[in-house]
Amino acid sequence: MRKLLSLTLLALAGTSAFAGGYRVSLQGQKQLAMGHTGVAVVNSAESLFFNPAGISFLEDKFNASIGANALFAETKFQNEMYNIQNSTQNVGTPFNIYVTYKINKWLSAGLAVYTPYGSEVEWDQDWEGSHLVNNIDLKAFYIQPTIALKVSDEFSVGGGPIYVNGSVEFNRNLNRSLTDENGNRSDVNLEATGITAWGWTAGFMFNPCKEMRLGVNYRSEIIMEARGGDATFNDVPVFLQGTYSNTTFNADLPLPAELTAGLSLNVTDKWMIAFDFNRTMWSAYESLNVDFDNSVPTSVNPRNYHDTNTYRVGTQYKATDKFTFRAGWYKDESPISAGYFAPETPRNDSMGYTGGLTYQINKNLGVDASFLYLHFDEIDASYDHYQETTLVNGQPVTSTIPFGGTYKSTVFSPGVGVTYSF
């Protein structure tokens, strides 16, 4: 029972992992096309996410950027020793809305709505790893009001609070073999809605010369507090229905702090390059503690994540007044430690290749397009902390049973958006 809900709440932290652990790096069409750089770039209202200080340097009084991506993810699993094969293909639709307004020459305000966590992972029901996960559906919406202050023509600061609202639905089998009297595998479905939390973001931008910008942005750790989530048990044999009765659960999970620093350089009037370095403090996720609203004691489950780095580079070239082209690349490290690699988060080190363009319909309105191809290194890995209790000579014996094999993942995501300003 302890192991059951510990893995469930791991899903709540964000199973859909496309940026290291469980981050989805699709927060703007222009900046995504440039390798998701942006901490020292002023292109549009997308600066609200990448560095809120940047909205002070937008030329127009009003700026809006609205975009969405179609995210196609595939993970293949194979264990040659036991002749096990399975795969999961999933589709997500992350979106973003950014709006800024220049109140006066030194004060700007904005509002950002985006989805940095959210997608779906669905393996075949009752597959060989179903004791760890069958499927997960995670949604998280961020709302970020922002203020930016232009201290001088060379320096600005900005930031604001972040409000998060999310939900998660998770299903897994109770163990590797348990069935009801009709032979149906026993499983549990857990659902938590209305999960809310608060955090904040702040940054600064400095222009040492006309050709160069420097930027730094920090996003705080956010603690997601699941309270009163519903646990529904299905196909449980009669003799265990007293143990596996429907209940509720509580848990706290950290979404780690991030620090990003970078620069952009205008090589010519038409050509810009940008570099970002991101440090994500995944080590905050040391353990998952779960409290149950029944007689089961608190469960303490080590996770042992480690801090990671992401290295990004992007470029932009304004070919004509109508067309601007972009391209980029980034390397992203996984925070998952050896022995903790599970099908809930089948993500390891990856490289992202991006591109895109803007077609400027008129002075005020432009259409942005982007694409991302994310290639994960093939990896042989396992989850070594699943425990199962069986009876041996009438006595309960608990064994640790690893589950592992070869994982190979890819992600492709085309996106489109519009930018409007006046």
Residues in the chain: 422
Burial class (CB in 10 A: 0-12, 13-18, 19+), 399: exposed
**Secondary structure element (H or E) that encloses residue 416, with its range:** strand 403-421
The tens place of each residue's pLDDT in the chain, 422 residues long, gives 333 333 333 333 333 334 444 467 889 999 999 999 999 999 999 999 999 999 999 999 999 999 999 989 888 999 988 889 999 888 888 899 999 999 999 999 999 999 886 657 889 999 999 988 898 887 788 999 999 999 999 999 999 999 999 888 889 898 899 999 999 999 988 888 999 999 999 999 999 999 999 999 999 999 888 889 888 889 999 998 888 888 888 777 778 899 999 999 999 999 999 999 999 998 888 776 666 687 654 555 667 789 999 999 999 999 999 999 999 999 999 888 888 887 876 678 899 999 999 999 999 999 999 999 998 888 898 988 888 877 777 788 888 899 999 998 889 999 999 999 99
User: What distance in Å separates the CA atoms of residue 30 and residue 65, rounded to the nearest whole number?
Assistant: 10
Would you say 77 and 343 are in contact if contact means Cβ atoms under 8 Å apart? yes
Q: Please name which of 132, 128, 110, 130 lies closest in space to residue 49, comparing C-alpha atoms.
A: 110
Walk me through the domains of the chain, giving residue ranges and CATH numbers. Answer: 2-421 (2.40.160.60)
Map residue 6 onto helix, strand or coil.
helix
> In terms of DSSP bridges, do strands 323-332 and 308-318 run parallel, antiparallel, or are they unpaired?
antiparallel
Long-range contacts of 75-81 (CB under 8 A, 24+ apart): 75/121, 75/343, 75/346, 75/407, 75/408, 75/409, 76/407, 76/408, 76/409, 77/129, 77/343, 77/346, 77/405, 77/406, 77/407, 78/405, 78/406, 79/128, 79/404, 79/405, 79/406, 80/405, 80/406
Q: Provide the whole-model pTM.
A: 0.89
User: What distance in Å separates the CA atoms of residue 73 and residue 349, rounded to the nearest whole number?
Assistant: 15
Buried b (16+ CB within 10 A) or exposed e, 33-70: bbbbbbbbbbbbbbbbbbbbbbbbbbebeebbbbbbbe
